[in-house]
Amino acid sequence: MCRIEKRGYLYQFLPRTYKYWTETKKIEHKGYNLKTDYLINISHELILKYYFTNEVQHNLWSSILRRKYGKTYNIYIDYLVKCGFMNLVSNYYVGRKAKTYKLNITDLDIIRHKATDNILLKKHKKEYLFRTFTAQQETPIPLELRKPLIDDLYHVNIDYKKSFKWLENAKKNKTIELNKYFKNLSSIDGIESGHIFFKFDSYGRLHTNFTVLKKYIRNNYLTIDGESIEEIDVSNSQPLNR
């Protein structure tokens, strides 16, 4: 059993504007009863993309959405557009690109919500992430190298309480920007719960929960298989198969 399933919930980011989603289990839209945990999870994933990339426009692949949210995934997306969370800016072209949406993020007034949907919990297991994301990314790193790279990340643990306390103090003392605070908060929660964020980019780099962490957290609150670590910088270390 993964750490998320044992804990029984996922922390999710949500703009305060949509706090009303947390006050009900379902919302009716076009004759469907939409799970609010799904709406929150989609918005959370897109907010994370914004924090990690600083971009407000993102491609949404129907094949991935269908696997995670079921055959009515398009109704969820339609509702997010209707309520103003995002807008469609570019349509789908067969064999070329996914639909592109722009997030309507006007502020960073973000709250955290505990999502408890059992299906979402199961779909945040490592095996599911492998199936849905590793093969759908533009990168020169071959799939047979991507999988062991991600597998190694699940051997890293974090002292969550100390990391959280350090982040809260940094926010209180205004020594960390608010968007970086949320990026780090999401990262330490993901590491602690076993929900590892990873993205392979077109330049051969691997972006994860760990690469965005503040250096102090990486140096003081991470362990690998229970052993303390030290950080070194290796230049031109992208894992390419040549």
> For 9-19, what is each residue's pLDDT tens digit?
888 889 999 99
- Indicate the pLDDT class of residue 236, thresholds 50, 70 and 90: low
Which range among 26-40, 44-58, 125-139, 160-174 shows the weakest confidence by mean pLDDT?
125-139
- The model's pLDDT over 76-134, given as tens digits with 9 standing for 90+, comes to 999 999 999 999 998 865 555 678 999 997 666 888 888 888 888 877 766 555 554 44
Instruction: Tell me the C-alpha distance between 241 and 205, whole Å.
Output: 13
- Rounded to the nearest 5°, which phi and psi values hold at 208? -140, 180
pTM here is: 0.72
Residue 110: per-residue pLDDT: 85
Q: Are both 7 and 119 inside the same structural domain?
A: yes
Please determine, for residue 170, whether its predicted confidence score (pLDDT) is greater than 80.
Answer: yes
Q: Which of 104, 123, 142 is the last residue of a domain?
A: 123
Q: Are both 114 and 160 inside the same structural domain?
A: no
Q: Are both 185 and 207 inside the same structural domain?
A: yes
Give yes or no for a contact between 210 and 191, defined as CB atoms under 8 angstroms apart.
Answer: yes
Contacts of residue 174, defined as CB under 8 A and 6 or more positions apart, other chains included, come to none
Q: Specify the higher pLDDT residue, 235 or 200.
A: 200
Q: Are both 146 and 213 inside the same structural domain?
A: yes
Q: Are both 70 and 168 inside the same structural domain?
A: no
- Indicate the pLDDT class of residue 26, thresholds 50, 70 and 90: very high
| Average pLDDT, rounded, for the chain | 83
Domain that holds residue 218: 129-228
Q: Which of 92, 123, 154 is the last residue of a domain?
A: 123
242 domain-assigned: no
Q: Are both 150 and 223 inside the same structural domain?
A: yes
Which two structure tokens, joined as six digits, stand for 26? 């379902």
Number of independent structural domains in the chain: 2
87 domain-assigned: yes
20 domain-assigned: yes
237 domain-assigned: no
Q: Are both 27 and 56 inside the same structural domain?
A: yes
Q: Which of 62, 91, 123 is the last residue of a domain?
A: 123
Q: Are both 91 and 133 inside the same structural domain?
A: no
Q: Specify the higher pLDDT residue, 191 or 8.
A: 191
Please determine, for residue 167, whether its predicted confidence score (pLDDT) is greater than 90.
Answer: yes
12 domain-assigned: yes
- CA 47 to chain centroid, in Å, comes to 8
- Indicate the pLDDT class of residue 137, thresholds 50, 70 and 90: low
Buried b (16+ CB within 10 A) or exposed e, 123-159: bbbbeebeebbbeeeebebeeeebeeebeebeebbbb
Q: Specify the higher pLDDT residue, 127 or 169.
A: 169
User: Residues 39-68: what's their mean pLDDT?
Assistant: 85
Q: Are both 139 and 115 inside the same structural domain?
A: no
Q: Are both 167 and 109 inside the same structural domain?
A: no
32 domain-assigned: yes
222 domain-assigned: yes
Q: Are both 94 and 167 inside the same structural domain?
A: no
Q: Are both 78 and 170 inside the same structural domain?
A: no
